[in-house]
Amino acid sequence: MNPSAAPSSPLNGSAAQGACPVCHASELETRRPGRDRLFALAKGAFALFRCRSCGCIFQHPFPDRSALAAFYPKDYWWSESAARGNRAARILQSLEKTYREFVIKDHVRFLDECARRHPQQGKLLLDIGCGNGTFLHSARSRGFIAHGMDASARAVEIARRQYGFPVCQGEVGSRVWDGSRFDFITMFHILEHLPDPGSALKYARELMRPGGVLILQVPNISSVQARLFSGRWYGLDVPRHLINFTPGALAFLLEEAGFEFRLETRFSLRDNPASIASSLAPWLDPIHRKGTGADSTPVLSGVLEAAYFGLFLLSVLPALLESACGRGGTLWACAIPK
């Protein structure tokens, strides 16, 4: 797929025939074209539109599957084994592992909170889009029986090797967990990557036990930080994020998929401050540095890591304030089938 520039005037051509992928409304407005600011793997500009009904912002047309796969660098998933043989690199890696496991505990706290709301449920957990398994590792320490799936063979290999989880490779909609049903299903930062998020919710529902609980997290395009940074906002992440949700858009999607839910613009220790920091200085972002090879030496890596962590700490207070105002950078939902 060749990235196409967004039209600068009212919709025309193929865009005029498009509709919102969330609420299916046809009243759309053009936005400034987006570019790959994080990795620069995708060349050119990508057309962005905003739905006047639900407010979501999305790409049109969507990149095809093969193009999407090429937009993720080889080192997109963090691996504990990447720095063997170098003492300085191992120290940095140990610190990064400690940080990752610390901030992901915030996700586990939300899982625990949802579990307390539904005490009749068991502890079988499936994380769709589990990545390298850090969340599953923390959830297991709280008594959850952890399972995972991810579309990336590399992510699945890392999760199995580092933590020994039953993790299957498969895209949303695949039958890799046929015959299994789960009490809790989590989908952290998954829906924004999918061209048909409604089908993804129905797929998750099929894998749930009666009374099961679905926990979602997506970036909030209506947040203070999204409005402040606009096209430079890290959460926009063109072209990997196909759809960016408002609270109304996510609520519509859950209603249409047959869920009762509690929607929150909640603070996320892992995501909200990091999104501000990476919007301010995308070249310092750890994923950017690994994906572009900026961490060429342990010394340089350490300097850049320290600079990013300092910026992260400075971003915590504004992230807390926007969340306290109900305009946090992350949308969370705890949902059960009707």
Extents of the domains making up the chain:
87-337
Query: What's the rounded Cα separation, in Å, for the pair 61 and 2?
Result: 10
Which whole number is the average pLDDT over 225-245?
A: 95
pLDDT of 65-102, one tens digit each?
878 878 887 766 655 554 455 666 666 667 677 777 78
Contact by Cβ (8 Å): 185, 335: no
- Give the whole-angstrom CA distance, residue 16 versus residue 104: 42
Query: In this predicted structure, what is the pLDDT of residue 118?
Result: 87
**pLDDT confidence band for 236 (50 / 70 / 90):** very high
* Tens of pLDDT, residues 97-117: 777 778 888 899 999 999 998
For residue 111, give the 3-state DSSP assignment: helix
Per-residue DSSP letters for 268-321?
Answer: -TTTHHHHHHHHH-GGG-HHHHHHHT---SHHHHHHHHHHHHHHHHHHHHHHHH
Q: Which residue do the tokens 């310092």 mark?
A: 284
pLDDT at 11 over 50: no
pLDDT of residue 72: 80
Q: Count of CB atoms within 10 A of residue 156's CB?
A: 23
Instruction: Supply the CATH classification number for the domain 87-337.
Output: 3.40.50.150
Report pLDDT for 66: 78
Q: For position 81, what pLDDT does the model report?
A: 52
Global pTM exceeds 0.75 = yes
How confident is the prediction for the chain on average, in pLDDT? 86
pLDDT the model gives residue 97: 72
Q: Is the pLDDT of residue 167 over 80?
A: yes
More reliable by pLDDT, 122 or 96: 122
How would residue 13 be classed by pLDDT, with cut points 50, 70 and 90? very low
Q: Is the pLDDT of residue 223 over 60?
A: yes
What's the rounded mean pLDDT across residues 203-231? Answer: 95
- For residue 78, the model assigns a pLDDT of 56
Res 139 pLDDT > 90: yes
Picking from 300, 287, 240, 237, the residue whose alpha carbon sits closest to that of residue 100 is: 287
- pLDDT, residue 150, reads 93
Higher pLDDT pick, 184 / 104: 184
